[in-house]
């Protein structure tokens, strides 16, 4: 059949249909896919082709009993290649004929048959397990005769025909041999090794296919080898790793220039999935544990269920994992040296990275996502040039195919790889995702929020509001870890925390708090405080008071519980960039703490929170890092909790074991937290801690250095004179760099320790305080000072008027003066005077009229600016006076503190 178009073939077939046998039918159906693509035909031609294919189907059904195995395989291959599926009745006949003659199929026919059935299975026509069992039994005996292309197609077909284990139902979808790579289905999750579960000797067949491919790697083309690796990973990850060891070096050595972006993406996915499965031992070959111990990462990927990564207010410096030549940052080779040819090393990963860098211009958005996720799993550190190329490629291709899933996973991987993309690039990616925020899934939202925190990028208010609105809708589906992550993210953004998220976090804390308190009370009652009849009542009440349902925080690890309450306390949360954003974040956190702990003194609620923390952490303190320990103590101090003596004994015992590992910058936070808790550790412990800090002053920032002194004051502990002298000298060296507020805290803390200074230190402090007061004075402009004087005059005149009206009105008449309580509607709220809020004036009308405490000519719009200027001048004056008083408390040889400051 040498026809050049399907019309010619149709005319030829119409004239010879009655004389066609099984060979002619097979040749006719196999020739059609080479001449026509039905999906590209116009509607009229497509209808004509469908009628012609129907007549061919009738002829095949008539001649099917005479078909040999080759004809059965070829006809099914041709029909599936056209994109059609036989009718169920006809397909069952084909499968019956193949089942009966299965032992007569050769290797090529079995490969064609498996490919055809896998394609038809995608249309909903899947063979029964009994048929597949006989097919696999026949294929095992023919593996040695398969050509590389046939072996690749059979492996791919088996990966589609045999269902995956139930543990992989949420696994990432993989493409067909000709289809593009697809993006991950959510936050990257660690796959578990599972062998193929199929009918008959399928594991034996998969093992034989992998062994045959490994022995003939040099005969495979690049596409065939990548296809085989991908299919084997779906069937049996261990078999894929056995083939990957000889295949990856061969690909890099022979087919480096022939690998397409799709092949590279699939290779990275395979490496990333297999390397994190301990049972496959590929991670040890790639030195993942060694590289991970060098970098000591403090974060982990959030899972799709909503677990949040650990938040820390300070992270140590991160060093590069390895350079492109396979060397680590310290110059020591990683994965080099005496290389075992049967093992993979990091040199292969970086060689593959070099090939990927040259092909980045052809990657699709999904391929870039897959590659980034694999790099993050493999703990790789691409060069700055690769990072810039990846970000540039995203900016060009992602907006056209943007999805919330792709953006969230990509930013997660960038954060894990410690990329620092340009703010404009992040703005573009997040803007694309924000358009699809109403359709985002909960775990995708959490992945995006986690990535934005790690990238320290603050979205515009409009985008933050869209994300917050979606979070409010799905807040009921979030677990406590997800709620904590959302609270931490919006604290960094400086935006109000969504009401549903805040309520969910507070409700989870309250439920666990009540459960822990009831459990503690029930335990105390169960021990019995009396004897006889009273003991029985106590036992009964204890059983009745025991919680019937598990609290929301009961399933969390101690580390997660500490992180949850630290976020609510505002201790280990990221700080926004601007002062306005910080004020908004602090206000949102205060409201959450007020809902949790109540207004004013609520001992029962505080006892419940303390019992929850102690119940979750007691006995597990060794699992907490030093960061988590200090965050826990700071949270208790912030929420004014009172931990038990037994619990603090466990804390000091844990800190004793690791005090030598404590960084100097942690000392101020630790001492301050212990001081606010009112818990004083043993003097020997404090001495050891201070001795550890002394040689590390240079590594402390100004705030951390000052925190050490404040912690000692709160603990009421006076260190030795030698230690205090070295500390005082270090502070004197930095005083000129400190703002006036820090100088004031320093002087007040010295007074709190009972220090009195004479001579040269007093003179140096006097000069510093003089300069700081001058700086404060220069902050207030003459216009601001005039405004303050003007408002003072208006206030004095108004108060005099009220006093005259009060003394001249008749006895018993209604009072006409203003109320000093809550402000009435329309009243102008005054500023804090002496620490109290006072409402001045009565009902006010238009701006500038009587009753408004504004200078003449000022309107309502100018009131806010004028009031803030007045408040700033008053703050400056108070700071100046407080500085003078603090200096006079410390220095004894100032002449009765009567120093004139001009």
Which has the closest alpha carbon to 862: 851, 853, 873?
A: 853
- Give pLDDT, residue 728: 87
600 and 484 assigned to the same domain: no
Cα–Cα distance measured from residue 346 to residue 333, given in angstroms and rounded to the nearest whole number: 9
- End position of a domain, from candidates 127, 154, 184: 127
Least confidently predicted of 185-194, 206-215, 425-434, 649-658? 185-194
Q: Tell whether 493 and 568 lie within a shared domain.
A: no
Which has more pLDDT, 648 or 22?
648
User: What pLDDT is stored for residue 442 in this prediction?
Assistant: 92
CB contact at 8 A, 39 and 73: no
Mean pLDDT on 505-529 = 63
Q: List pLDDT tens digits, range 416-460.
A: 988 888 888 888 888 888 888 898 999 999 999 999 999 988 899
pLDDT in tens, 161-174: 886 554 333 333 33
CB 170 within 8 A of CB 193: no
Among 715, 509, 685, smallest CA distance to 592 is for 509
Q: 566 with 502, same domain?
A: no
Between 832 and 157, the higher pLDDT residue: 157
Residue 877 lies in a domain: no
Please tell me whether the overall predicted TM-score, pTM, comes out greater than 0.85 for this model: no
- Which is more confident, 811 or 122? 122
Cα dihedral 339, 345, 346, 352 sign: positive
> In this predicted structure, what is the pLDDT of residue 266?
92
For the ranges 300-314, 384-398, 706-720, the lowest mean pLDDT is seen at 300-314
- If you average pLDDT over residues 291-304, what whole number do you get? 42
Residue 536 predicted with pLDDT over 60: no
Crossing angle of helices 579-597/603-617, nearest 10°? 100
Last residue of a domain, one of 636, 661, 686: 661
**pLDDT for res 873:** 61
Top pLDDT among 193 and 852 is at: 193
pLDDT of residue 250: 92
What's residue 545's pLDDT?
A: 38
Helix, strand or coil, per DSSP, at residue 712: helix
The span from the CA of 143 to the CA of 486, in Å, is 54
Tokens 């694309």 appear where? 432
Q: Is the dihedral of CA 68, 71, 75, 77 positive or negative?
A: positive
User: How many CA atoms lie less than 13 Å away from 22 in the CB half-sphere?
Assistant: 13
68 within a domain of the structure (yes/no): yes
pLDDT of residue 684: 82
Identify the pLDDT of residue 831.
27
Helix (H, G, I), strand (E, B) or coil at 686: helix
- pLDDT tens digits, 320-364: 223 333 333 333 333 333 334 457 788 888 899 999 999 988 888
Question: What is the signed CA dihedral for 404, 405, 407, 408, rounded to 10 degrees?
Answer: 110
Q: Average pLDDT, stretch 18-28?
A: 83
- pLDDT at position 791 is 63
**Res 614 pLDDT > 60:** yes
pLDDT at 656 over 60: yes
Per-residue confidence at 834, pLDDT binned at 50, 70, 90? very low
Supply the pLDDT for residue 521: 54
For the segment 627-644, the average pLDDT, to the nearest whole number, is: 89
Q: For residue 517, is it within any domain?
A: no
Q: Are both 348 and 409 inside the same structural domain?
A: yes
Residue (of 779, 714, 710) closest to 745 by Cα position = 710
Under DSSP, is residue 727 helix (H, G, I), strand (E, B) or coil?
Answer: helix
Would 743 be classed as within a structural domain? no
pLDDT of 230 reads 92
Compute CA 372 distance to the chain's CA centroid, rounded to the nearest angstrom: 15
Q: Is residue 21 part of a domain?
A: yes
Flag the least confident range among 118-132, 480-494, 776-790.
Answer: 776-790
Q: Last residue of a domain, which of 127, 152, 182? A: 127
Q: Which one has a higher pLDDT value, 154 or 718?
A: 154
Identify the band that residue 115 occupies on the pLDDT scale cut at 50, 70 and 90. very high
- Chain-centroid distance, C-alpha 53: 54
For tokens 């459990």, the residue is: 519
pLDDT on residue 887: 76
Residue by residue, DSSP assigns 839-855 as EE-S---STTSTT----
Residue 423 within a domain: yes
- Asked if 303 and 187 count as a contact pair (C-beta separation under 8 A), the reply is yes
Q: What is the mean pLDDT of residues 796-825?
A: 54
Contact 322, 334 (CB under 8 A): yes
Confidence at 901, pLDDT banded by 50, 70, 90: very low
Is residue 348 located within the same domain as residue 467? yes
Q: How many other C-beta atoms can be found within 10 angstroms of the C-beta atom of residue 21?
A: 11
Q: Which tokens belong to 572? A: 């280990």
Indicate whether 458 and 570 sit together in one domain.
Answer: no
The pLDDT value given to residue 792: 63
Strand partners, 829: 839
Is residue 22 a part of any domain in this protein? Answer: yes
pLDDT at position 515 is: 58
* Top-ranked range on mean pLDDT: pick from 108-112, 627-631, 885-889: 108-112
pLDDT digit string (tens) for 462-481?
999 999 999 999 998 998 88
Distance CA 30, CA 70 (A): 11
CA distances from 718 to 39, 245, 751 (A): 86, 64, 12
Find how far residue 20's CA is from the centre of its chain.
65
Predicted confidence (pLDDT) at residue 722 exceeds the cutoff of 60: yes
Q: Which domain holds residue 101?
A: 6-127
Scan for tokens 């000591």, then name that residue.
296
Please check the confidence at residue 231 and state whether its pLDDT lies above 90. Answer: yes
Count of Cβ atoms closer than 10 Å to residue 833 Cβ:
11
CA distance 59 to 56: 5
If asked whether residues 245 and 109 sit together in one domain, one would say no
| Spatial distance between the Cα atoms of 149 and 318, rounded to a whole number of angstroms | 46
DSSP 170: T
The pLDDT of 728-736, averaged and rounded, is 87
Is the pLDDT score of 849 beyond 60?
no
Structural domains in the chain (count): 3
Residue 752, pLDDT score: 84
Residues 590 and 449 in one domain: no
Q: Are residues 253 and 402 in the same domain?
A: yes
**Is pLDDT at 408 greater than 80 in this prediction?**
yes
Residues 6+ apart with CB under 8 A from 153: 111, 112, 114, 115, 177, 227
Structure tokens of 329? 């940052």
Q: Which residue has the tokens 């201790």?
A: 571
Identify the residue whose tokens are 């573009």.
Answer: 428
Between 69 and 868, residue with greater pLDDT: 69
What confidence category does residue 868 fall into, taking pLDDT thresholds of 50, 70 and 90?
low
Mean pLDDT for 381-396 is: 86
Residues 415 and 492 in one domain: yes
C-alpha closest to that of 505 among 562, 575, 552? 552
CA–CA separation, 615 vs 613, rounded Å? 6
- Band (pLDDT 50/70/90 cuts) for residue 897 is very low
Least confident of 143-147, 296-300, 607-611, 690-694: 296-300
Sorted by sequence, the CB contacts under 8 Å of residue 307 that are 6+ apart come out as 479, 481, 482, 560
What pLDDT sits at residue 219? 93
According to the per-residue pLDDT averaged within each range, which of 235-244, 321-330, 844-853 is highest? 235-244
Strand 828-829, strand 839-840: pairing? antiparallel
Considering the domain architecture, whether residues 364 and 456 belong to the same structural domain is answered as: yes
Burial degree of 15 (CB within 10 A; 0-12, 13-18, 19+)? exposed
pLDDT band at 291 (very low <50, low <70, confident <90, very high): low
Q: What value does the mean pLDDT of the chain take?
A: 75
β-bridge mates for residue 626, sequence order: none
Residues 381 and 245 in one domain: yes
Predicted pLDDT of residue 110: 93
**pLDDT over 80 (residue 859):** no
Q: What is the pLDDT of residues 245-273, one digit of tens each?
A: 899 999 999 888 889 999 999 999 998 88
Helical ranges in 276-325 per DSSP H: 282-285, 288-295
Q: Which two tokens stand for residue 350?
A: 């970086």
Domain assignment of residue 427, yes or no? yes
User: Residue 822 to residues 709, 828, 833, 845: CA-CA distances in angstroms?
Assistant: 41, 11, 16, 19
Most confident of 311-315, 549-553, 559-563: 559-563
């Amino acid at each position: 059949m040498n026809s050049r178009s399907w019309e010619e073939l149709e005319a030829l077939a119409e004239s010879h249909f009655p004389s066609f046998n099984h060979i002619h039918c097979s040749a006719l159906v196999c020739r059609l896919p080479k001449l026509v693509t039905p999906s590209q035909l116009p509607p009229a031609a497509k209808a004509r082709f469908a009628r012609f294919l129907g007549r061919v189907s009738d002829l095949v059904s008539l001649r099917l009993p005479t078909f040999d195995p080759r004809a059965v395989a070829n006809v099914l291959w041709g029909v599936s290649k056209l994109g059609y599926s036989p009718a169920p009745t006809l397909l069952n006949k084909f499968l019956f004929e193949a089942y009966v003659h299965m032992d007569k199929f050769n290797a090529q026919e079995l490969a064609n048959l498996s490919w055809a059935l896998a394609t038809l299975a995608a249309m909903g026509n899947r063979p029964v397990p009994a048929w597949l069992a006989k097919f696999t039994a026949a294929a095992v005996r023919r593996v040695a005769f398969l050509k590389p292309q046939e072996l690749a197609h059979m492996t791919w077909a088996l990966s589609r025909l045999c269902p995956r284990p139930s543990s992989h139902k949420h696994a990432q979808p993989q493409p067909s041999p000709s289809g593009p790579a697809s993006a991950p289905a959510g936050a990257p999750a660690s796959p578990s090794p599972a062998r193929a579960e199929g009918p008959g000797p399928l594991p034996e067949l998969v093992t034989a296919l992998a062994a045959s491919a490994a022995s003939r790697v040099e005969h495979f083309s690049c596409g065939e080898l990548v296809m085989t690796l991908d299919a084997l990973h779906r069937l049996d990850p261990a078999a894929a790793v056995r083939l990957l060891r000889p295949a990856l070096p061969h690909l890099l050595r022979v087919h480096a220039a022939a690998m397409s972006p799709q092949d590279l993406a699939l290779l990275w996915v395979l490496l990333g999935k297999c390397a994190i499965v301990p049972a496959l031992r590929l991670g040890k070959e790639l030195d993942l544990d060694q590289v991970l111990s060098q970098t000591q990462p403090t974060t982990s990927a959030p899972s799709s269920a909503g677990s949040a990564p650990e938040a820390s207010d300070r992270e140590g410096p991160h060093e590069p994992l390895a350079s492109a030549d396979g060397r680590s940052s310290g110059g020591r080779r990683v994965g080099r040296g005496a290389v075992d040819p049967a093992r993979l090393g990091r040199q292969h990963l970086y060689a593959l990275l070099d090939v990927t860098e040259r092909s980045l211009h052809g990657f699709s958005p999904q391929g870039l996502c897959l590659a980034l996720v694999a790099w993050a799993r493999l703990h790789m550190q691409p060069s700055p040039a690769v990072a810039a190329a990846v970000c540039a490629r995203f900016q060009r291709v992602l907006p056209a195919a943007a999805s919330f899933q792709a953006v969230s996973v990509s930013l997660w991987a960038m954060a894990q790889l410690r990329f620092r993309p340009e703010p404009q690039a992040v703005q573009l990616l997040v803007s694309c995702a924000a358009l699809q925020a109403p359709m985002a899934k909960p775990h995708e939202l959490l992945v995006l929020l986690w990535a934005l925190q790690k990238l320290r990028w603050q979205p515009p208010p409009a985008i933050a509001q869209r994300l917050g609105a979606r979070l409010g809708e799905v807040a009921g589906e979030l677990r406590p870890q997800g709620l904590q992550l959302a609270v931490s993210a919006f604290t960094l953004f400086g935006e109000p925390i969504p009401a549903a998220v805040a309520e969910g976090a507070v409700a989870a804390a309250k439920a666990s708090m009540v459960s822990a308190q009831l459990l503690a009370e029930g335990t105390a009652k169960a021990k019995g405080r009396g004897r006889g009849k009273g003991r029985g009542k106590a036992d009964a009440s204890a059983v009745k008071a025991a919680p019937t349902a598990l609290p929301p925080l009961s399933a969390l690890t101690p580390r997660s519980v500490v992180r949850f309450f630290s976020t609510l306390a505002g201790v280990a949360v990221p700080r926004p960039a601007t002062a306005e954003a910080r004020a908004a974040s602090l206000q949102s956190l205060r409201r959450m703490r007020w809902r949790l702990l109540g207004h004013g003194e609520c001992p029962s609620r505080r006892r419940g929170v303390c019992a929850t923390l102690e119940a979750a952490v007691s006995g597990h303190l060794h699992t907490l890092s030093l960061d988590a320990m200090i965050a826990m103590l700071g949270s208790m101090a912030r929420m004014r909790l009172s931990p038990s003596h037994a619990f603090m004994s466990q804390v000091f015992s844990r800190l004793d074991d690791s005090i030598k590992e404590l960084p100097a910058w942690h000392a101020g936070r630790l001492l301050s937290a212990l001081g606010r808790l009112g818990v004083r550790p043993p003097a020997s412990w404090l001495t050891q801690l201070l001795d550890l800090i002394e040689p590390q002053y240079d590594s402390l920032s100004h705030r951390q250095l000052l925190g050490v002194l404040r912690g000692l004051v709160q603990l009421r502990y006076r260190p030795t004179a030698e230690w205090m002298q070295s500390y005082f000298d270090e502070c004197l060296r930095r005083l000129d760099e400190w703002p006036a507020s820090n100088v004031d805290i320093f002087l007040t803390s010295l007074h709190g320790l009972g220090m009195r200074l004479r001579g040269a230190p007093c003179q140096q402090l006097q000069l510093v305080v003089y300069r700081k007061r001058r700086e404060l004075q220069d902050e207030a402009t003459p216009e601001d000072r005039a405004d303050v004087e003007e408002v003072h005059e208006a206030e004095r005149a108004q108060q005099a008027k009220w006093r005259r009206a009060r003394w001249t009105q008749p006895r018993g008449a209604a009072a006409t003066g203003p109320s000093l309580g809550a402000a009435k509607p329309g009243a102008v709220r005054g500023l804090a005077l002496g620490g109290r809020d006072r409402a001045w004036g009565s009902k006010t009308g238009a701006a500038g009229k009587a009753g408004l405490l504004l200078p003449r000519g000022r309107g309502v719009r100018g009131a806010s600016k004028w009031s803030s200027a007045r408040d700033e001048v008053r703050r400056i004056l108070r700071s100046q006076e407080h500085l003078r008083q603090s200096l006079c408390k410390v220095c004894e040889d100032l002449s009765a503190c009567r120093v004139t400051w001009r």
